[in-house]
């Protein structure tokens, strides 16, 4: 039932209105409309107010404030006035009043105007609801769009390195094809193939991430032997480290006490988490220092920590480090786009895990990722590889 507020100071009109309106509507009265120049102490909600000239003169600021507070929903005010006062209605009055009725009041006219004004309010409420709904839809669409853009950046970011490598090796092969030994040619071709395979795997990952984020699929927790998986990953990094001169190298050490550690995790996401952390640790470390990668597995979780003695991260930068494109002030000329850690964070979140950081500028950093794990069932023991 609609609530109608009666702000009518003229006693006879008030009595009459109360009597007529109470049959169809909930009528509410302010505590006192008489002898009060103060602000109206009224905070009950209403759908329509009926006001007379005396009350309007006294409370016009309050009326304007009520209408403003409800905007863009219409809160109608109906003015009861006398024929002699109508002429005095200025342009100004229509900012507060939506309609008027001339006393002596005709019951049928009153009912008609009240119904029309209540319908206007109802329509504007419906319109506001649809508008809010539209706003939410638009926001979801915008979020999806941003997600797509960030996926595109991710692809560009991770494809560029292997692609540059492929361009470089093919140029080498073309330029020196007559002078390169068969062995060297074979080696370059193998590496080119590995880089191309890396891009292929990455595209799989990106498609998977996109599907997981848009809720189209849950991710597949496959049983993997974490010890074997990490060993192979470390091996890949150690191989690429070997390409550098010996005195310009970082040493990567893997600490793991588990001969085998079966757990169910999303392999491609895990590879991106650890790959990014290891490549950061190596990239931000000076030569002749150690990067220590440690794996600890319990019944319920897997803990991976990557520790380096590199440039460290200034305290002021640590909070925003997982934002896309954010790079700490001390990176100098070390290349990077600032996307790796935001990808890591996304993958950790998708696993329901957490990532923590301890770092001191000029001393080094320790990134620790803790992921909840499900132990594979006995009949589910075909380990995946990195
Ligand atoms: P890329 O997108 O190529 O990975 P990036 O390494 O700059 O570029 P992130 O991996 O997201 O981007 O890392 C964000 C920033 O965090 C880095 O720019 C660097 O300032 C800081 N950072 C990350 N790891 C380390 C680390 N191990 N030691 C020092 N600083 C680090
Ligand atoms: Mg990085």
Three-class HEC string of 84-148: HHHCCCCHHHHHCCCEEEEECCCHHHHHHHHHHHHHHHHHHHHHHHHHHHHHHHHHHHHHHHHHH
The pLDDT of residue 42: 67
Range of the domain at 160: 117-213
Is 57 domain-assigned? yes
Q: Residue 272: helix, strand or coil by DSSP? A: helix
Q: In whole angstroms, what is the distance from residue 140 CA to residue 329 CA?
A: 34
Atom of ligand 1 nearest to the CA of 328: 20
In 10 A of CB 92, how many CB atoms? 9
- pLDDT 10s digits, 53-62: 888 888 888 8
Q: How far is the CA of 280 from the centre of ligand 1 (A)?
A: 6
Is 69 domain-assigned? yes
Atom of ligand 1 nearest to the CA of 326: 14
Q: How far is the CA of 279 from the centre of ligand 2 (A)?
A: 7
Phi-psi region of 196 (alpha: psi -120 to 50; beta: other; left: phi over 0): alpha
155: CATH: 1.10.287
* pLDDT-derived band at 35, boundaries 50, 70, 90: low
| β-pair type (301-308, 290-297) | antiparallel
Give residues (CB < 6 A) around ligand 1.
157, 276, 280-281, 284, 308, 310-313, 321, 327-328, 331, 336-342, 365
Same-domain status, 188 and 257: no
Number of domains the chain contains? 3
Supply the residue whose CA is at minimum distance from atom 18 of ligand 1. Answer: 327
Same-domain status, 232 and 319: yes
Ligand number, closest to the Cα atom of 361: 1
- Top mutation candidate among 158, 277, 314, 328 for ligand 1, by most atoms within 8 Å of CB: 328
Same-domain status, 41 and 127: no
The pLDDT of residue 73: 95
Is 294 domain-assigned? yes
- pTM of model > 0.85: no
The pLDDT of residue 43: 72
Q: How far is the CA of 263 from the centre of ligand 2 (A)?
A: 26
Is 386 domain-assigned? no
Q: In whole angstroms, what is the distance from residue 331 CA to residue 30 CA?
A: 67
* pLDDT-derived band at 205, boundaries 50, 70, 90: low
Same-domain status, 236 and 326: yes
144 versus 379: the higher-pLDDT residue is 144
Mean of the per-residue pLDDT values of the chain: 87
Q: Which residues surround ligand 2, an ion (CB under 5 A)?
A: 280, 340
Same-domain status, 246 and 312: yes
Q: Which residues pair with 368 in a beta bridge?
A: 305, 356
Looking at 213, 248, 266, the residue that finishes a domain is 213
| β-pair type (3-7, 26-28) | parallel
Is 361 domain-assigned? yes
The pLDDT of residue 305: 98
Encoded tokens for 63: 């009326």
- pLDDT 10s digits, 299-340: 999 999 999 999 999 999 999 999 877 899 999 999 887 888
Answer yes or no: are the C-beta atoms of 277 and 227 closer than 8 Å: no
pLDDT for 275 beyond 80:
yes
Is 375 domain-assigned? yes
Looking at 213, 241, 258, the residue that finishes a domain is 213
Same-domain status, 366 and 241: yes
Answer yes or no: are the C-beta atoms of 150 and 324 closer than 8 Å: yes
179 versus 243: the higher-pLDDT residue is 179
pLDDT for 298 beyond 60:
yes
Ligand number, closest to the Cα atom of 332: 1
Same-domain status, 232 and 175: no
Is 112 domain-assigned? no
- Top mutation candidate among 340, 343, 363 for ligand 1, by most atoms within 8 Å of CB: 340
Same-domain status, 65 and 184: no
291: CATH: 3.30.565.10
Same-domain status, 87 and 138: no
Q: How far is the CA of 263 from the centre of ligand 1 (A)?
A: 28
Encoded tokens for 301: 């979780």
Answer yes or no: are the C-beta atoms of 267 and 384 closer than 8 Å: yes
Angle between helices 267-283 and 182-213 (to 10 degrees): 120
Is 72 domain-assigned? yes
Same-domain status, 249 and 371: yes
- pLDDT 10s digits, 142-200: 887 887 787 777 777 778 878 988 999 999 899 998 898 999 999 999 989 988 988 88
Q: Which residues pair with 358 in a beta bridge?
A: 366
Answer yes or no: are the C-beta atoms of 29 and 41 closer than 8 Å: no
Q: In whole angstroms, what is the distance from residue 314 CA to residue 369 CA?
A: 20
Q: In whole angstroms, what is the distance from residue 74 CA to residue 117 CA?
A: 9
Supply the residue whose CA is at minimum distance from atom 15 of ligand 1. Answer: 327
Q: In whole angstroms, what is the distance from residue 124 CA to residue 72 CA?
A: 8
* pLDDT-derived band at 215, boundaries 50, 70, 90: low
Q: In whole angstroms, what is the distance from residue 28 CA to residue 22 CA?
A: 9
Same-domain status, 232 and 374: yes
Q: In whole angstroms, what is the distance from residue 343 CA to residue 214 CA?
A: 16
Looking at 54, 81, 105, the residue that finishes a domain is 105
In 10 A of CB 362, how many CB atoms? 10
35: CATH: 3.40.50.2300
Same-domain status, 246 and 341: yes
Q: In whole angstroms, what is the distance from residue 367 CA to residue 288 CA?
A: 20
Q: How far is the CA of 343 from the centre of ligand 1 (A)?
A: 11
Answer yes or no: are the C-beta atoms of 70 and 38 closer than 8 Å: no
The pLDDT of residue 343: 83
């Amino acid at each position: 039932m609609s609530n109608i507020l009666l702000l009518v100071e003229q006693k006879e009109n008030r009595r009459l209105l109360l009597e007529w309106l109470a049959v169809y509507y909930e009528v509410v009265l302010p505590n006192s409309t008489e002898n009060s120049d103060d602000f109206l102490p009224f905070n009950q909600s209403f759908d329509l107010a009926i006001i007379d000239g005396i009350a309007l003169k006294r409370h016009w600021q309050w009326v304007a404030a009520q209408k403003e507070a409800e905007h863009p929903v219409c809160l109608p005010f109906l003015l009861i006035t006398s024929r002699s006062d109508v002429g005095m209605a200025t342009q100004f009055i229509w900012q507060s009043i939506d309609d008027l009725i001339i006393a002596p009041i005709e019951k049928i006219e009153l009912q008609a105007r009240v119904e029309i004004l209540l319908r206007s309010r109802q329509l504007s409420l419906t319109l506001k609801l649809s508008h809010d709904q539209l706003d939410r839809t638009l926001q979801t669409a915008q979020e999806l769009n941003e997600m797509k853009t960030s996926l595109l950046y991710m692809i560009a970011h991770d494809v560029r390195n292997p692609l540059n490598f492929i361009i470089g090796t093919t140029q080498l092969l073309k330029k020196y094809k007559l002078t390169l030994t068969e062995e060297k040619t074979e080696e370059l071709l193998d590496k080119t193939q590995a880089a191309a395979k890396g891009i292929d795997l990455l595209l799989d990952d990106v498609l998977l991430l996109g599907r997981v984020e848009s809720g189209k699929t849950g991710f597949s927790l496959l049983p993997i032997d974490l010890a074997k998986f990490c060993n192979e990953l470390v091996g890949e990094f150690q191989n690429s480290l070997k390409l550098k001169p010996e005195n310009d190298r970082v040493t990567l050490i893997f600490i793991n006490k588990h001969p085998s550690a079966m757990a169910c995790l999303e392999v491609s996401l895990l590879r991106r988490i650890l790959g990014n952390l290891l490549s950061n640790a190596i990239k931000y470390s000076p030569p002749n220092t150690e990067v220590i990668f440690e794996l600890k597995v319990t019944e319920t979780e897997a803990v991976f920590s990557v520790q380096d003695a590199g440039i460290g991260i200034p305290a002021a930068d640590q909070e925003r480090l997982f934002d896309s494109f954010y790079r700490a002030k001390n990176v100098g000329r070390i290349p990077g786009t600032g996307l790796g850690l935001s990808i890591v964070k996304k993958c950790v979140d998708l696993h329901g895990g957490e990532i923590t950081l301890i770092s001191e500028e000029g001393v080094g950093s320790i990134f620790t990722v803790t992921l909840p794990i499900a132990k594979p069932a006995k009949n589910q023991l075909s380990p995946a590889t990195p």
